[in-house]
Amino acid sequence: MSQFFQIHPDNPQARLIRQATDIIRNGGVIVYPTDCGYSLGCHIGDKSALDRIRQIRRLDDKHNFTLVCKDLSEISTYARFDNGLYRLLKHHTPGPYTFIFGATSEVPRRLLHPKRKTIGIRIPENKIVQALLDELGEPIMSSSLILPNETLPMMDPYDIRDTLQHQLDLVIDGGYCGMEPTTVIKMDVDDMAVLRQGAGDASAFI
């Protein structure tokens, strides 16, 4: 049965943040709030935890997972981009966007789209996420919390706990954080494209 932490959205309690990151490091699967709803998360290097997320969402091997990063310097470790794309990122992060990049060799192969070798990258504007990333010292492997046969993500942490408590190690209640998904943008200097219009303004990428 999963643990349940109520973490303040503006002043995250350091003790609970440390406990949450310990759960991630030890192979746990968590649900945590972002600026665009609740997400599933686990350690970037943990295959077993990733497989559990695949099972919860019934994902195939073509799903593009996302690395939730602290800042632009962390993104450069995992994604390939030039100075022009960097300037665009700088003006739109943190924020409600998922950027699809060609991945570097630092990204585990099991996280990549099998044909395109791409990875999703996010820098959410959420103090709980930023506190988790500060404590963890590396990205969180992440996927939106949308259950099979549903089109909208789960929004209520109590419903999440009741529905998935035997499949999770931790649910973080960070209050209401919206239900509109991120805007997804393919970041290629020769072929930039808005793949999904969501909460973020996409005009600069068209």
Element (H, E) at 121: strand 118-122
Q: Report, in angstroms and rounded to the nearest whole number, the Rg of the chain calculated over CA atoms.
A: 16
Q: What is the β-pairing status of strands 3-6 and 170-173?
A: parallel
**Whole-model pTM?**
0.94
What pLDDT does residue 15 have? 98
Give the Cβ contact number of residue 84 at 10 Å. 10
The pLDDT of residue 196: 93
Q: Are 30 and 16 in contact, with CB atoms under 8 Å apart?
A: no
Per residue in 186-199, pLDDT (tens digit) is 998 778 999 999 99
Look at residue 29 in the predicted model and tell me its pLDDT. 98
Structure-token pair, residue 197: 């219009």
- How many CB atoms within 10 Å of residue 111? 21
How far is it, in rounded angstroms, from Cα 3 to Cα 82? 42
Quote the pLDDT of residue 39: 96
Q: Return the axis-axis angle of helices 127-136 and 14-25, rounded to nearest 10°.
A: 60
Residues in the chain, pLDDT under 70: none
- Name the nearest CA neighbour of 111 among 156, 65, 149: 65
Q: What is the largest CA-CA distance in the chain?
A: 48
Tokens of 172: 């973080």
